[in-house]
Structure 1
Amino acid sequence: MTKNFAAFNVSDYLDNEETIAEYLTAAAEDENSDVLLAALSEVAKARGMAQVAAAAGLGRESLYKALAPGSHPRFETISAVLRALNVKIALIPASSTTP
């Protein structure tokens, strides 16, 4: 018996700022920087890639390239994308268990 499942698309669940912030925070904690880039890409897709690119001051294709696995975007680019997504970076001591 074969079962068909719908493909999981994380961007379907990124529908509010709190969920987005939690998702990006978890991704940022991973040692592999591609995890954060992939998460940013998923959030941008959920919000509309063209809209996020425009709000970040980037072209749509530039945004895709900046968030591609293995890319090394400048901090200014990531900061602009985060502002466009209406989230910000918060730093806490590594020994802290709660933000």
Structure 2
Amino acid sequence: MEKITPFDPAEFLDDPETALAYLAAVFEDGDAEEIRKGLNNVARAHGITDLSRETGLSREALYKALGPSGNPTLTTLLAVTKALGIRLSVAA
């Protein structure tokens, strides 16, 4: 029997352009749970420790906010996107 390895998107999001395209697609859908998952994947690809240092948020706070039962605040969302070099915008 062949062993199946779970797919982890974070393994493919270490390139900034790829991560940006991925998040753009996630945000376009507008589903809060998918946005949280997308940010979690990109954050893990970037490195939670580095992201913690860059945002000033603890690793635990990032794991809690971006984890499976997380619900990041606007402050956390803005800190994470800024640290990842992503700018949020609004369009009609």
Q: Identify the TM-score tier after normalising by the shorter chain.
A: 0.7 to 0.9
Q: Percent identity?
A: 34
Partner of 2:60: 61
5+ residue gaps in structure 1? 94-99
5+ residue gaps in structure 2? none
Question: 1:50-96: CA deviations, max 9, x gaps?
Answer: 11012111000001111123433221210000011111113222xxx
Aligned residues: 92
TM-score by length of 2: 0.86
Partner of 1:97: none
The 5 A counterparts of 1:16-27 are: 16-27=15-26
Segment of structure 1 superposing worse, 22-31 or 40-49: 22-31
The two structures, once aligned, show a CA RMSD in angstroms of 1.6
**Shift, 1:31, TM fit:** 3.9
TM-score by length of 1: 0.81
Larger-gyration structure (1/2): 1
Partner of 1:96: none
CA distance in 2, matches of 1:71, 1:7: 22
CA distance in 2, matches of 1:83, 1:53: 12
Q: Which amino acid aligns with 2:26?
A: A
Question: 1:12-44: CA deviations, max 9, x gaps?
Answer: 110211111111111112343011111111111
